[in-house]
Structure 1
Amino acid sequence: MAKLLDGYHAEPGAATVDLLLCEAHQQQKLLQNGQADVALLHLPFDSAVGLDTEILYTEGQVVILPTFHPLASRSQIRVAEVTALPELPMARWPGPGGSYPEGPGAEVRNLTQLFQLIALGRTTVIMPESASNDLRRDLAAVPVLDAPPVTTVIAWPSQSRLRAVADLLRVATRL
C-alpha cells in the first residue's frame, strides 16, 4: 500500500487519496455504493463479482501460531496438520452479510483481535504470507505448503471513468 501511494503521489497531477480502512469483506460494498473508487482485494477470500480487476501479485500462505506452540519452530507445515489442532481452532471471519460461519474458532473482525487471541493460545489462522511481515514478537509464521495461493488485485467499478483511477491503476501495474 505504501509503495503504491508513494508512487502515485509522485505522478504529475495526482489527485488527493483519502484512505478508507474497513473490516473484512466490506470493500466490494464500498465500491458498489460509490464510497470508494478503488480497493485492494485478496482472491479467493474477497469477491470481485461486478468489478474490474488488475492482478498486483500472488503469494503463498502461512499459519500464524503463538511462539510457545511446538509447531511454531517448524520450517513448513500442511493444512491438514493445522486444521487437526484441537487446542487452536481456526479463527472465523464474518462473511459478506456480517454473520460468522459455524465452528469452534474465535470470531474475529480485525488483525488486532486475531493476533491477541493467537498469542493467548486460543485460535490460529492461515493467511497470506505478507500479513506476517511485521508480526508481534509473541507470534510465529510458518509457511503452509499446500494452501492455495492468494492473489492481490486492485479493483474498481466497471463503469468507472475517473482519470485518477486510471492513473492509479497505471502506477499499480508499473510497480
Structure 2
Amino acid sequence: METRELRYFVAVAEELHFGRAARRLGIAQPPLSRAIRALERRLGVRLLERDSRTVALTPAGAVLLREGHAALDAVAAADRRTRRAASVAGGGPGLVLATKAGASSELLPKLLDAYAAEPDAVPVDVLLCGIGEQGRLLRDGRADVALLHLPFDSTAGLDTEELVTEQQVVILPATHPLAGRAQLRTADVEALTDLPMPRWPRSDGTYPDGPGPEVRDHTQLFQLIALGRATAVLPESARTLLLPDLAAVPVPDAPVVTTVIAWPPHSRSRALAALVRTATRL
C-alpha cells in the first residue's frame, strides 16, 4: 500500500461521501473512486458499501481506517522527527514536551528548572494542548515527550514512568453553600443539579451529550464555575490555579489521579532519557 492510497481511503472513510472527500483532498472525484476500487482489488476485500446515495464502512474497512490512521501517523512522525533531528544538529530546539493547558502546574516548572540545571540539557519547548491531545501529539511526532494523567488519558503504545499520585477536589463557586465543607462525597457532587459537570471534547472534536457546558480548557472552565454555571472534579494540584472567587473541597472517594511522563517506545534520544530521569528523581 502507498501512503497516497491510505490518505485517499481515510478521507472517504471519515467523510462517508466521495464528493466531500475529493474536495478535502483537492482532487477530482473520478480518480478518487478509481483509486479506492484499485485498493479493494489489490487487497481482495470490499472496504466500502456504496450505492447512489450512501457510503458505509464494511468490517474490513473499519479495520483499515484504524490501521490507516496509525500508519499515516507513523509516517508523519518519521518526517517530523527527522526534520527536528536536523534542526537540533543545526542548533535548533531540542525536545518538545506536550501537556494539557492548566495541568501539572506545580510539577512542570520544577521539572523544567531541574532539567535545565543538568550539564547536557537541551532546550525544551512546551506545547500546551487541549484535553486528551498529548498522546496523539506523541504518536504523530509533534512532541517527543508528554505529561499524561491516568485514568483519563490513554498510554497505549507508549512507555511511561509514574511521577505523582494525588487525590481529587471539587471546584465550586466560593459563595456556594457547600464551599465551606471539609469534604464531599462523589454522590454529593453528582447531586449538584444546579452546577452540571462540563463536557470536554472527544478526540474527534465532538462533545458528548449532557446538560453541562462545552469547555476546551481550564481558563474557560474556571470562569464558568465562578459564574455558577458548572462544577468540576479535578486533581488537587488545581488549587494553585484558583482565584478567590473559587473554592476547592476534597472528594476522598473519587479516583486518584496519577501523572505519568510518556514517550514513544522506539525513542533513542539521550536528551529525552535525561529528562525522564530528572522527572522520576523529582
Larger helix proportion of the pair: 2
Match of 1:145 in 2: 252
Provide the rounded CA distance (Å) in 1 between the counterparts of 2:139 and 2:179. Answer: 40
Q: Does 1:103 align with 2:103?
A: no
Residue from 210, 214, 220 that aligns with 1:113 = 220
In the TM superposition, what are the counterparts of 1:5-154 in structure 2 within 5 Å?
A: 5-154=112-261
TM-score, with structure 2 as normaliser = 0.61
Code of the aligned partner of 2:121: A
Code of the aligned partner of 1:110: D
Q: Any gaps of 5 or more consecutive residues in structure 2?
A: 1-107
The CA deviation at 1:134 is: 2.9
Match of 2:73 in 1: none
Provide the rounded CA distance (Å) in 1 between the counterparts of 2:278 and 2:201. Answer: 32
Q: Which has the higher contact order (CA 8 A, sep 6+)?
A: 1
The CA deviation at 1:92 is: 1.1
Code of the aligned partner of 1:123: A
Provide the rounded CA distance (Å) in 2 between the counterparts of 1:161 and 1:42. Answer: 24
Q: Deviations over 1:104-140 (max 9, x none)?
A: 0111000110000000000000010101123111000
SS in 2 for 1:2: helix
The CA deviation at 1:78 is: 0.5
Moved over 2 A (4+): none
Q: Deviations over 1:2-49 (max 9, x none)?
A: 000001000011011011111111101100011100000010111111
Provide the rounded CA distance (Å) in 2 between the counterparts of 1:4 and 1:130. Answer: 15
Provide the rounded CA distance (Å) in 2 between the counterparts of 1:68 and 1:22. Answer: 31
Provide the rounded CA distance (Å) in 1 between the counterparts of 2:262 and 2:226. Answer: 33
Identity %: 66
SS in 1 for 2:127: coil
Q: Deviations over 1:72-104 (max 9, x none)?
A: 000100011111111001111112222211110
Provide the rounded CA distance (Å) in 2 between the counterparts of 1:67 and 1:60. Answer: 20
Provide the rounded CA distance (Å) in 2 between the counterparts of 1:9 and 1:100. Answer: 39
Provide the rounded CA distance (Å) in 1 between the counterparts of 2:190 and 2:143. Answer: 36
Match of 1:165 in 2: 272
Q: Any gaps of 5 or more consecutive residues in structure 1?
A: none
The CA deviation at 1:152 is: 0.2
